[in-house]
Structure 1
Amino acid sequence: MSRPRVAVIGAGWAGLAAAVELAGFAELTLFEAGREPGGRARRVREAELALDNGQHILIGAYRECLRLMARVGVDPDAVLLRQPMNWHRHGGLRLHCPPLPAPLHVAWGLLAARGIGWRDKWRLSRALETLKRQGWRLAEDCTVADWLAVHDQSTALVGGFWRPLVLSALNTPLADASMQILANVLKDSLGAARADSDLLLPRHDLSALFPQPAWHWLAGQGAQLRAGCRVRDVAFADGAAWVDGERFDAAIVAVAPHHAGALLDDAALRQRLQLLRYRPICTVYLRFGQSLRLPRVMTGFAGGTADWLFDREALSGERGLVAAVISAPDEAILALPPAQLVARVLDDLRRLQPTLPEPLWSRVLVERRATFAAVAGLARPGTRIGVQCGYLAGDWVDSPYPATLEAAVQSGVNAAHVFKQDWMKQKN
């Protein structure tokens, strides 16, 4: 049987995952509008600077990410710093889950947590136990804020634990965020094996984790790689996919949702995509002329501008570099001039080190459409477009997860599997 020709449009983590999964089964052509693969999780270059276009983290439950990294020759243990769940927020909650078997690691972490009283520890433990007894499934989705109110979570718990957790995981405010999606995240982290809750912090730039190794690996597998090639039109006719007039047996569209709607002549899909809302993420980089050590490589702030600070020197050897992440910033934050936003983050850092000098340089990176808003009751598009040879992949495609690297990779793997099944049925 001859191998099918498959076009993968978009070389972010989803498109690369689909291509890696199809290698050996199909003749692949991978289209990427940019000069580099990786999408919204890659290293970007600006003049003399090279910085990640965001500060992503993984957790031990991200099995598909870890599996595909290994498949393209990346050793996850070499490129990721694995740590037990460590929640260190300056002026707030501090929770450390020791390397004990599940669920003892969570129980011990809550018992020894600092920054909250015994009554709040009991409330938090009871809320998590309620979710676990329900199999991490809600009878009907609701907002996180509504669920927390029903389950008697105090103002201190909401501000010190739930709010930073939801913003970090879902990038969506509590008043809108889906409790079911959050429960899925908790199930696969705190509710699973101990190692699943481990934080995996990148020791190398994001491109080195998967995009560049996958790109080179695919070239070695004979895939055609077309960087700097923006696809203008995808159509389906005569049982084939036509990408800018070139015939393929199938096409996997793995681009941002607003681009997918423009590429595909599918009114039903465009209508569903119009229901998606988007949330920004702001990353502020500051480089100092001296080594800077944060209390933890990932340190949070209670009442600060930054949600989390990352010690890039401790992680990746980038001397004096700190990355500050502001999840789902409001319009007031986004409207600040970069210099003012940098000054506010510097104020956060000086709460840790009062004598800290001015940075040598700083950069503010804002992704206006960093993620879709993981709102309650959201119905996301499925993998199949509606024609036999067209498929979707991306962190916004139907998945239990919010917009994460694992959701993107899972969607690419799933698109590849669905296509394989369809192709084999067609040939049989």
Structure 2
Amino acid sequence: MADAAAVTVAVIGAGWAGCSAAVELARAGCKVSLFEAARTLGGRARAVEVQGRQLDNGQHILLGAYKESLRLMRVVGIDTGAAMLHLPLQMRYPKDSGGMDFVAPRLPAPLHLAIALLRADGLDFADKMALARFSSTARWMDWRLHTDCSVSELLERYDQTDRLIELMWRPLCLAALNTAPERASAQVFLAVLRDSLGAARSSSDMLLPRLDLSALFPVAAAAFVESRGGSVRAGAKVASLAADKGGWLLGDGEPFDAVVIATPPPAAALLLEQAGAPEVAAALGRFEYEPITTCYLQYPASTRLELPFYALRDNAASGHWGQFVFDRGQLDPAQAGMFSVVISASGAASEPGREALAQAVAGQLAAVLQRPELARPDWVQVISEKRATFACTPGLARPPNATGLARLALAGDYTASDYPATIESAVRSGVAAARLLTSKSK
């Protein structure tokens, strides 16, 4: 690309991928215009107003392995130490709920995992040996498979016990890939484990946002772009894209030297068709999707959990849909007494309707925490993202950032990557798209 200082770039979509691309382009000296159809920045990881409070459209956990996300947060002025609660890797179930208690101490890797395994309650000797065997074999394989398969097939291949699958591997797979182990990509799952369990101890830390998801990065990213001479246009949907004299025309004919498409796949496919990249558009059209549901329950302000969050044993037959419960009051004192319960790959859970699901979740909390009062929250709010992520299936073909057209790049958590659809995947994709446009070869 020519001198970056003279280049105008439109970034269509202000989710985490689009905001990341915009920040990197602004840092390179480009004049960036960031377009977002919604009024709130953040895409599928954003703030929403619930009962007069600023919450999120879904509860998220970040990992210490999310290096690009943490780097860009710091670039735009976010104090990552204060903005998130940093916890060691853990899988802790409520006492007497039939789960386990696994906590990694703050020791160098891989000693922290070895000690956590030795100390783990709720796992017998066979379970612990299976976990140790899987971890050592995955390291020996460099966390790679010759041929991708489902996570369930991988776990069966390495003789993982039923209890370990139920309490450790299945919840991790659902949380990371938002796809059931029976149809989730083993290679992508191994990549997540590689950068967390298989990396430095700090990479496995679990980071719980204290800020709402828009404030955690997108809002600060927008301010950063504006401080570098760019503009942010919320409530501005870009409905058309056409090539023009070596550049691009958006919507009503506004010209730009380059464009990053950072919208969800259906909207991106329409723009790519118009731009002249039908093969990339077709690849996006082949995606399947998985929903995520978060149930917020408000109790009296004095209501607390003993820990910031617990894993929960989900069981459809019992109407126990919740997989994790978070005490929001331990993240933000203004949300005292509020719990959020996450249900990944929540299609079946949503079928009875939101009211029935909320009642079931409240009943599950009351039962597993042995606190009958939790069955009667003051109010509840169920938020479902029907297309929260693509279904991360074995061998899934995902398009690259390069579209095959000059000065047009694609960004999103769905582009080619060894990661699933996570915040980190979105950020990495946005950075890659920006660098593709600002590279000397363009």
Which TM-score band (shorter chain)?
A: over 0.9
Q: 2:117 aligns with which of 95, 107, 110?
A: 110
Counterpart in the other structure of 1:377: 395
- Residues in 1 aligned to 2:151 and 2:304: alpha-carbon distance in whole angstroms: 34
Preserved contact between residue 202 and residue 316 of structure 1 (Cα < 8 Å): no
- Residues in 1 aligned to 2:248 and 2:437: alpha-carbon distance in whole angstroms: 13
Counterpart in the other structure of 2:264: 256
- Structure 1: gaps spanning 5 or more residues: none
Counterpart in the other structure of 2:299: 288
Counterpart in the other structure of 1:156: 163
Preserved contact between residue 233 and residue 264 of structure 1 (Cα < 8 Å): no
- Residues in 1 aligned to 2:372 and 2:292: alpha-carbon distance in whole angstroms: 29
Preserved contact between residue 126 and residue 161 of structure 2 (Cα < 8 Å): no
Q: 2:15 aligns with which of 2, 12, 17?
A: 12
TM superposition shift of 1:47: 6.1
- Residues in 1 aligned to 2:123 and 2:230: alpha-carbon distance in whole angstroms: 54
Within-5 A mapping of 1:198-209: 198-209=205-216
Counterpart in the other structure of 1:412: 430
Within-5 A mapping of 1:231-246: 231-244=238-251, 245-246=253-254
Q: 2:327 aligns with which of 303, 306, 311?
A: 311
Which residue identity is paired with 1:329?
S
Counterpart in the other structure of 2:230: 223
- Residues in 2 aligned to 1:410 and 1:104: alpha-carbon distance in whole angstroms: 29
Counterpart in the other structure of 1:390: 408
Q: 1:95 aligns with which of 96, 102, 105?
A: 102
TM superposition shift of 1:267: 1.8
Counterpart in the other structure of 1:337: 353
Q: 2:194 aligns with which of 177, 187, 193?
A: 187
Preserved contact between residue 235 and residue 264 of structure 1 (Cα < 8 Å): no
Preserved contact between residue 250 and residue 389 of structure 1 (Cα < 8 Å): yes
- Residues in 1 aligned to 2:103 and 2:397: alpha-carbon distance in whole angstroms: 35
TM superposition shift of 1:340: 1.4
TM superposition shift of 1:118: 0.6
> In the TM superposition, what whole-angstrom CA distance separates every residue of 1:230-264 from its partner, at most 9, and x where no partner exists?
00011224321221122211100001011101222
TM superposition shift of 1:26: 0.7
Q: Does 1:119 align with 2:126?
A: yes
Preserved contact between residue 236 and residue 387 of structure 1 (Cα < 8 Å): no
| Compared CA separation, residues 95 and 46, structure 1 to 2 (3 A) | closer
- Residues in 1 aligned to 2:249 and 2:101: alpha-carbon distance in whole angstroms: 54
Preserved contact between residue 173 and residue 181 of structure 2 (Cα < 8 Å): yes
Preserved contact between residue 50 and residue 381 of structure 2 (Cα < 8 Å): no
TM superposition shift of 1:46: 4.7
Which residue identity is paired with 1:242?
L
Preserved contact between residue 278 and residue 372 of structure 1 (Cα < 8 Å): yes
Q: 1:22 aligns with which of 22, 25, 31?
A: 25
Counterpart in the other structure of 2:317: none
TM superposition shift of 1:312: 0.1
- Residues in 1 aligned to 2:216 and 2:428: alpha-carbon distance in whole angstroms: 16
| Compared CA separation, residues 49 and 80, structure 1 to 2 (3 A) | closer
> In the TM superposition, what whole-angstrom CA distance separates every residue of 1:189-231 from its partner, at most 9, and x where no partner exists?
0000000000011112112211111112221111111111000
Provide the secondary structure at the position in 1 that maps to 2:385. Answer: strand
Counterpart in the other structure of 1:320: 337
- Residues in 2 aligned to 1:269 and 1:87: alpha-carbon distance in whole angstroms: 39
Which residue identity is paired with 2:257?
D
Provide the secondary structure at the position in 1 that maps to 2:331. Answer: helix
- Residues in 2 aligned to 1:275 and 1:112: alpha-carbon distance in whole angstroms: 45
Preserved contact between residue 110 and residue 201 of structure 2 (Cα < 8 Å): yes
Q: 1:299 aligns with which of 305, 310, 321?
A: 310
Structure 1 window deviating more from structure 2 (186-195 vs 148-157): it is 148-157
- Structure 2: gaps spanning 5 or more residues: 315-319
TM superposition shift of 1:375: 0.5
- Residues in 2 aligned to 1:209 and 1:388: alpha-carbon distance in whole angstroms: 33
Structure 1 window deviating more from structure 2 (19-28 vs 275-284): it is 19-28
Provide the secondary structure at the position in 2 that maps to 1:175. Answer: coil
Preserved contact between residue 82 and residue 201 of structure 1 (Cα < 8 Å): yes
Q: 1:355 aligns with which of 367, 372, 375?
A: 372
TM-score, normalization by structure 2: 0.93
Which residue identity is paired with 1:111?
L
Provide the secondary structure at the position in 2 that maps to 1:130. Answer: helix
TM-score, normalization by structure 1: 0.96
Which residue identity is paired with 1:280?
P
Preserved contact between residue 313 and residue 322 of structure 2 (Cα < 8 Å): no
Following TM superposition, where does structure 1 have runs of at least 4 consecutive aligned residues deviating by more than 3 angstroms?
A: none
TM superposition shift of 1:291: 2.1
> In the TM superposition, what whole-angstrom CA distance separates every residue of 1:296-351 from its partner, at most 9, and x where no partner exists?
211111243200000000111111100000010233x2112222111111112212
> In the TM superposition, what whole-angstrom CA distance separates every residue of 1:141-196 from its partner, at most 9, and x where no partner exists?
11111111111112111111111110001000111100000000000000000000
- Residues in 2 aligned to 1:312 and 1:353: alpha-carbon distance in whole angstroms: 19
Preserved contact between residue 265 and residue 285 of structure 2 (Cα < 8 Å): no
Preserved contact between residue 88 and residue 95 of structure 1 (Cα < 8 Å): yes
Which residue identity is paired with 1:328?
A
- Residues in 2 aligned to 1:216 and 1:271: alpha-carbon distance in whole angstroms: 35
- Residues in 2 aligned to 1:128 and 1:46: alpha-carbon distance in whole angstroms: 42
> In the TM superposition, what whole-angstrom CA distance separates every residue of 1:380-410 from its partner, at most 9, and x where no partner exists?
0100111011100010111111011000000
- Residues in 2 aligned to 1:221 and 1:425: alpha-carbon distance in whole angstroms: 24
Q: 2:82 aligns with which of 66, 78, 82?
A: 78
Which residue identity is paired with 1:212?
V
TM superposition shift of 1:61: 0.8
- Residues in 1 aligned to 2:313 and 2:43: alpha-carbon distance in whole angstroms: 31
Preserved contact between residue 290 and residue 347 of structure 2 (Cα < 8 Å): no
Provide the secondary structure at the position in 2 that maps to 1:31. Answer: strand
Which residue identity is paired with 2:372?
T
Preserved contact between residue 19 and residue 30 of structure 1 (Cα < 8 Å): yes
